[in-house]
Amino acid sequence: MRPEELTCDHPSEMRKPSVSKDSSLSISFLDGSTSLRICVVASHSGGHLFPAYSFAKEFVKAYPQAKVYLLTTKKGHRFSRRFEEGIFSGFQFQCDYRSAPKNTWERFLFLMQLPQAFFSSFCFLVKIRPELCLGFGGFVSLFPLWLSRWMGIPTFIHEQNRLPGKASRWLAGTVDCVCDSFPDTRWQSTPRTLVTTGLPVRYSVSNSHKASKVGQPIQLLIFGGSQGAHTLNRLVMAAMAGLSREERGKIAVNHIAGDTDYEWIVSMYDELGIRASVWKFFELMGDLYEQADMAVTRAGANTLFELALFKVPAIVIPYPYAEAHQFENASFFAQANAIVLKEERGLAGKGLLEDIRNLWRDNALRERLSANIGTLADGDASEKLVRFVVHRLKKVRS
């Protein structure tokens, strides 16, 4: 039994843990003349920043008097400038750190950055005087969480992946509470307080329904994450080149290619005569999910849970590096028969083409995958995380 693990109301809901909605949970235990101040820390990648943003948005929605501050790295600015105004009361952008230096020079630069990271984190915490510090992963979260713990500030972390990252593993034994997205997250040692809240996603499903596809091209969504993925792009374009002339006229593609591959992917779709909208980056991913009949993607935790929310059947090709954490994410979904899982090693464009054709032509398979992946969605994860955090704060202050 995981310590302080939340239970479910019904056995069929075991994959979707929930926090009981106690109307007494509020921040009224604070002095009415003050505002709750929260420090949210996340690495610069979308996989860390988007859940942090979703949590902050839900918290400010529930408690408008609260002030949420974001600490990230300079690379995170490209995402933070797209966040809705009024969610974060302030930002702190630290230097970009290499958490895995590969040579002597990189190790030297890494060590030189540590004092700066420590001092910058300490000054920011002293300045905003938070009553809670919540980390969403990445090396940048280490010093703020350790310092907050030392300063007596309640500390939480949220882990998005089934296989926790290094920073989360290092912090799990020291913070007050650990929240995770998967019910079987592979923690090396059991944290003192562990709860599965699900993964806060950026979007909500609209009430509109997809129009009938009779006589219309099938909508294929292709993306490798917020920045695209070069190897995935090469595999997909090799598969697209293998489509017959007739097939090319029956498909429409939305493809997020990233900066590097954007030009050649646009030109290749033009050469092949395939209707395609190609972007370097696309902000309103919810719109693309709602249009998609099927997808070819990587296996970032955000991607998988967003696919689940919109019930999009998908061929998933995990990124094989970074401790293979994407494969662990995808395996969880594959065990529920919710995706078509393909490993990148040994996969060629011809093999991917057959997978695309099989999913395209088999309506029953798409419907089955859509139904199965939908059971893994939890659109209330942001709310659950907020309620749990407030509940723990109330418990500490009592």
Residue 213: pLDDT band with limits 50, 70, 90 = low
Residue 205's SS3 state is: coil
What is the pLDDT averaged over residues 319-336?
92
pLDDT in tens, 90-116: 999 988 766 666 677 777 777 777 888
Give CA–CA dist 50/57, Å, rounded: 10
| CB of 185 closer than 8 Å to CB of 331 | no
Count Cβ neighbours within 10 Å for each residue of 249-282 and write b for 16 or more, e otherwise: eebbbbbbbbeebbeebbebbeebebebebbebe
Entry pTM: 0.86
**Model pLDDT, residue 18:** 37
What is residue 145's DSSP assignment? H
What is residue 343's DSSP assignment? -
Residue 80: pLDDT band with limits 50, 70, 90 = confident
| CB of 26 closer than 8 Å to CB of 391 | no
Residue 395: pLDDT band with limits 50, 70, 90 = confident
pLDDT at 71 over 80: yes
Greatest distance between any 2 Cα atoms in the chain: 69
What is the pLDDT averaged over residues 66-83?
89
Task: Please tell me which residue, 321 or 255, carries the higher pLDDT value.
Answer: 255
Provide the CA 232 distance to its chain's centre, in angstroms: 19
pLDDT in tens, 363-388: 999 999 999 999 999 889 999 999 99
Residue ranges and CATH numbers for the domains of the chain are 11-200+379-397 (3.40.50.2000), 218-374 (3.40.50.2000)
| 177-180 sheet: strands from edge to edge | 90-94, 67-73, 37-41, 132-135, 155-159, 177-180, 194-196
**Model pLDDT, residue 202:** 86
What is the pLDDT averaged over residues 69-92?
89
Give CA–CA dist 51/57, Å, rounded: 10
CA end-to-end distance (rounded Å), the chain: 26
**Model pLDDT, residue 189:** 84
With CA atoms as reference, report the closest residue to 134 among 194, 44, 63, 69. Answer: 69
**Model pLDDT, residue 288:** 94
pLDDT at 327 over 90: yes
**Model pLDDT, residue 96:** 77
What is the pLDDT averaged over residues 55-66?
94
Residue 82: pLDDT band with limits 50, 70, 90 = confident
**Model pLDDT, residue 379:** 86
> Which of 16-20, 32-36, 73-77, 370-374 is predicted with the least confidence, judged by mean pLDDT?
16-20
pLDDT at 315 over 50: yes
Residue 3: pLDDT band with limits 50, 70, 90 = very low
Task: Please tell me which residue, 395 or 55, carries the higher pLDDT value.
Answer: 55
Round the average pLDDT of the chain to a whole number and report it: 86
Give CA–CA dist 264/125, Å, rounded: 46
